[in-house]
């Protein structure tokens, strides 16, 4: 059996996170988008002085960022992966229990707020420069990182659904608790691999793009 076939079968083991749960992914995506919109709207609620204070810290960060040597190092990749990997791990752990599901939804919503507020503030204060910075330094890695968050949150919900079926509706689940846990853990590993890809983009592409834009 070649490596490609083995990988295909291994990924197929996590197929329970894809179909027939499309509506679940739509729900989580909408929840995330609401968070983004809410985060962007928070910018408008800030007073002029609050915006100026925050802009001062942003400009200080940009200045220190451009003064640093922009040699590509693994430390940036490790820091990025550690940051996002911790977040995914928290989602995974909270998703192990039905009680933790509201926390998982809240963390996903908070992630949307952070992204929405960041992009909204940059565009509000720096206009087209802020939009360009957001487009090149915020968006690229999140094209992978956000789907990884959606994957692990959806997987946690599906895991809880199967456990509830096993406990309260005998014979309604296709999996044992051990099998469901194994599939959930596989989804976690897949999410980490996606996070690693996003971290590579953030460390080696987005940071360089932002450096040249700020220069």
Which residue did the predictor score with more confidence, 96 or 171? 96
Q: What is the pLDDT of residues 95-142, one digit of tens each?
A: 888 888 899 999 999 999 999 999 999 999 988 888 888 888 888 999
Q: What is the pLDDT of residues 25-56, one digit of tens each?
A: 899 999 999 999 999 999 989 888 989 999 99
Angle between helices 74-94 and 139-168 (to 10 degrees): 30
CB 161 within 8 A of CB 98: no
- pLDDT level of residue 8 (50, 70, 90 thresholds): very low
Gap between the terminal Cα atoms of the chain: 52
The single-letter DSSP state of residue 98 is: G
CA 162 – CA 159 distance, rounded (Å): 5
pTM: 0.83
Q: So where are the chain's domains?
A: 27-37+78-210
CA 138 – CA 129 distance, rounded (Å): 13
CA–centroid distance for 37 within its chain: 16
Beta strands in 96-183 (DSSP E): none
What's the pLDDT at 185? 92
CB 26 within 8 A of CB 102: no
Rounded to 5°, the CA angle 89-90-93 comes to 85
Q: What is the pLDDT of residues 59-76, one digit of tens each?
A: 888 888 777 766 666 888
**Which of these ranges, 2-6, 163-167, 208-212, has the smallest mean pLDDT?**
2-6
CB 113 within 8 A of CB 42: yes
CB 173 within 8 A of CB 180: yes
């Amino acid at each position: 059996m070649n490596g490609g076939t083995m990988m295909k079968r291994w990924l197929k083991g996590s197929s329970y996170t894809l179909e027939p749960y499309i509506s679940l992914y739509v729900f989580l995506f909408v929840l995330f988008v609401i968070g983004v919109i809410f985060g962007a709207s928070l910018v408008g609620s800030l007073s002029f002085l609050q915006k100026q204070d925050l802009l001062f810290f942003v400009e200080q960060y940009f200045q220190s960022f451009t003064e640093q040597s922009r040699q590509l190092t693994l430390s940036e990749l490790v820091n990025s992966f550690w940051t996002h990997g911790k977040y995914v791990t928290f989602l995974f752990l909270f998703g192990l229990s039905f009680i933790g599901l509201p926390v998982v939804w809240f963390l996903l919503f908070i992630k949307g707020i952070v992204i929405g507020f960041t992009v909204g503030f940059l565009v509000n204060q720096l206009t087209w420069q802020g939009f360009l910075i957001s487009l090149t330094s915020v968006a690229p890695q999140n094209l992978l990182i956000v789907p990884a968050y959606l994957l692990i949150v959806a997987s946690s919900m599906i895991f809880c659904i199967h456990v509830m079926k096993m406990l309260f509706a005998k014979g309604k689940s296709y999996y044992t608790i051990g099998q469901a846990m194994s599939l959930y853990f596989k989804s976690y590993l897949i999410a980490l691999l996606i996070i690693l890809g996003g971290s590579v983009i953030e460390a080696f592409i987005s940071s360089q793009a932002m450096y040249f834009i700020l220069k």
